[in-house]
Structure 1
Amino acid sequence: MPQPISPAAEAERLDAFWSPKVLAEVDDAYIKVAKVKGTLAWHAHADEDELFYVLAGRLKIELENSEPVELGPGEMYVVPKGVRHNPVADEECRLLLIERKTTLHTGDVVTDKTRSIAEQLAGRS
């Protein structure tokens, strides 16, 4: 029998910061959750938009050549393709992300926080 998914509960269960988990697929997109704290990395996704929706906490998205966007619970922002950005959370923040399946975690850069899609899919039933 199909079961509903609680993104908030799934995000709360995550052990590691900056390690997104794929919850579902919708056409050519993944629905993910992540627990974040600190800063990720300045990066861009040349061909994909990226949706950030805050489940709990606060997130600042620094944008190159623009003022940062600050989000609280229940707020979302779409980073347009090609825009260099850097997500930052001063305190623990839980997110829902919607990204095309081709979206690399840290876009055009690789850091110790970069997670492959295989890592993001791990443990999915």
Structure 2
Amino acid sequence: MTLEPVNLKEKLSKITDHWSPKVIGEMNDYQFKLVKIQGDFVWHEHKETDEVFFVIEGEMMIEFRDGMVSLRKGEMFVVPKGVQHKPYAERECHIMLVEPRGVVNTGEAGGELTAENDKWV
């Protein structure tokens, strides 16, 4: 066990790619991941788990088949399991994701935005 706090700003400074979540901590079977996003992501869902989006810096939208939610710095939203969604950010946005270990960022949709899992920063 390390007795040092995780500095989000310092960890985010090491992330250069968009849409490539990096793990910064674990609690039980859940991972806390930081990611920088910009532009459109892909429509996808996570059939087995909810997904938490917490905005650290910037603004983002999460589009759903029947609506949309906008998130700003300091706001969070839980996408229920099995709900199709598509995150989007006009300008670079820094977010924290909270989800079980092993969750693929694009769900079953796959594609070029699928990030390697369990990459720590």
- CA-based RMSD of the aligned residues comes to 1.3
Whether the 8 Å contact between 1:8 and 1:94 is mirrored in structure 2 is no
Amino acid at match of 1:111: G
**Inter-partner Cα distance in structure 2 for 1:29 and 1:97:** 10
Amino acid at match of 1:79: V
Percent identity over the alignment is 35
Whether the 8 Å contact between 1:63 and 1:84 is mirrored in structure 2 is yes
Shift of 1:105: 1.2
**Inter-partner Cα distance in structure 2 for 1:102 and 1:80:** 17
Question: What residue number does 1:34 align with?
Answer: 35
Q: Which protein is richer in helix relative to its size?
A: 1
- Unpaired segments of 5 or more residues in structure 2? none
1:54-95 residue CA offsets vs partner (Å, 9 max, x unmatched): 000001000122x20000000000000000000000000000
Shift of 1:102: 3.3
Q: TM-score, normalised by structure 2?
A: 0.93
Q: Which protein is richer in strand relative to its size?
A: 2
- Unpaired segments of 5 or more residues in structure 1? none
Aligned length: 120
Structure 1 stretches of 4+ moved >3 Å: none
Shift of 1:14: 0.9
